[in-house]
Structure 1
């Protein structure tokens, strides 16, 4: 389980370190930095897919993603005595992302490309490190990248060996230097990072993919857009926890039941008390469809190590918050769950389901902080 998330220099996250638990709820006012924290987790997962630089380019390039304020705030500025002013930069331009847990940790440091460069908006990977335990040190780092040079600890004697001498600044050592011999730990960590799952684009509009006819096939993992909802529901009923799915539907819609299988209505039918016929996906309300999408994601027979949901309460009536909270709490007993939300009804319901790590974000002078928390100890590897 990941116990610490650290972000520095990314949008409003000038320097933020927060704890993560089995079930973590990130909340705060609009514009407090919730989405930036969600994106930072997603960017870490993109590094394992080799898409980190492209993902940042999609956000407008490094210059757009960087913290836009000064390197640090003096006491007089925070007290309102003096205005915020730019100062001479002491350190290099840097966007840093990292996490650590019981087993391993990872950090990546991105900066400006060295000119001349054909794509000046692309960030360059300056440093990467992966280690065992919660904090990096000389003895526990097993993979390290500085500039184009990557080295790994040899499995047989623990000595360093060169894994790459000219790795491109847009390629990560996680994707290019993992091997089953000396890079076995790096390889295992890469596969675990690739297994992280994110849900923030489950559409319910009239043209949503989940409303269209679908091919019914073995689907243990719901897609990010929900296009395979019917197949995912059928897979849960066949090889997953069918009783939990039935209970989730009953809890949200008393006396209702789902039917999934081949059919002209896209393979998914919802039988509701009082209706003479079941409803297909195209006929369901936005809230009903969204709840079924979330149920399919959270009851997956193949849960990831980490699942992150961004504002899952969208389109849901307050009466559906307790059933959703129960689904989230039950999923967190089988995998680590991070929920980004500002819905107090859902947050209260989650606290009623058991232990929750609450991360309440606050923004002051454009900087996001978590004032209610004592930040975990964290050390950034130096360039």
Structure 2
């Protein structure tokens, strides 16, 4: 299962961006255009799946600090994260904790959460969360409701953990938790990357490895929030 599309709205410097993805993606652009923020949205999705969403946001300064700070249209102030994993689409919308927030005013308040199964041109709802309650379709297709029993600052994915009853939730949760992030590499003389390695032969011929090379998508970001696809494609 691969990540095919990422949608981000209302997060730091990203007002709204929908980004189709290949197996390998290279994001380029000058300082301050949002490359790291785009990367951080993937970290947040992984945190939502693992049950550490509120803590991860707190490390960034809390919910008020991560919301889009530019001009906004009328309506609720929200941050939206959406990811497409093959035929599954997961979306999380959150905003500020309603007053009085007390000691937890930096926590996110999850307003809506959805999971859809794409069936040709239809989107079949597998999870819908709003107004403090949620329903999830079980393995037999029945709606199971969870009224007012969910933590407002964490996702349904992290709170409803019953793979035998809700296999699609389990699949999405595991995929998001499998994300691995390597944001900083040591480059000093003692860095592991500089250690000599033992050379080994490869079982596949070089021509076969070149023919099966992973496709790469290169996207350039600019300070207006736009994007330009420089090269690449799916596969």
TM range (shorter): 0.7 to 0.9
> Counterpart of 2:226?
369
Consecutive aligned runs of 4 or more in structure 1 exceeding 6 Å deviation: none
Unaligned segments of structure 2, at least 5 residues: 198-208, 231-235
CA gap of 1:16–1:292, structure 2 versus 1, over 3 A, is farther
2:166 equivalent among 183, 199, 204 = 183
- Map 1:1-383 onto structure 2 (within 5 A): 1-71=2-72, 89-118=73-102, 119-133=104-118, 139-156=123-140, 158-204=141-187, 285=189, 289-290=192-193, 355-364=215-224, 368-372=225-229
For the 8 Å contact 1:101–1:134, the answer to whether it is kept is no
- Matched residues in 1 for 2:76 and 2:6: separation? 22
What is the TM-score with the length of structure 1 in the denominator? 0.52
8 Å Cα contact 2:138/2:165 also seen in 1: yes
- Aligned partner of 1:378 in structure 2 is none
Q: Tell whether the 8 Å contact from 1:13 to 1:369 is kept in structure 2 after alignment.
A: no
Kindly state the Cα deviation for residue 135 of structure 1 after the two structures are TM-superposed: 9.6
**3-state SS of paired residue (2:94):** strand
Which structure is larger by alpha-carbon Rg, 1 or 2?
Answer: 1
> For the Cα contact (< 8 Å) 1:66–1:95, is it kept in 2?
yes
Is the CA contact (8 Å cut-off) linking 2:14 and 2:34 kept in structure 1? yes
User: Which whole-Å CA distance do the structure 2 matches of 1:289 and 1:168 have between them?
Assistant: 41
Structure with the bigger percentage of helix: 1
Structure number with the higher strand fraction is 2
Give the RMSD, CA atoms, in angstroms.
Answer: 2.6
Work out the CA distance in 1 between the residues paired with 2:177 and 2:30: 31
Aligned CA distance change for structure 1 residues 195 and 164 (closer, same or farther; 3 Å): farther
TM-score (norm 2): 0.82
- Name the CA shift for 1:135/1:178 in 2 (closer, same or farther; >3 Å): farther
2:138 and 2:167 in contact (8 A); partners too: no
Q: Structure 1 CA distance, aligned partners of 2:121 and 2:147?
A: 21
Q: Tell me how far 1:355 sits from its aligned partner.
A: 3.2
SS in 1 for 2:107: coil
**d(CA) in 2 for partners of 1:291 and 1:7?**
36
Structure 1's unaligned 5+ residue stretches are: 72-88, 206-284, 296-329, 334-352, 374-383
Provide the rounded CA distance (Å) in 1 between the counterparts of 2:87 and 2:181: 22
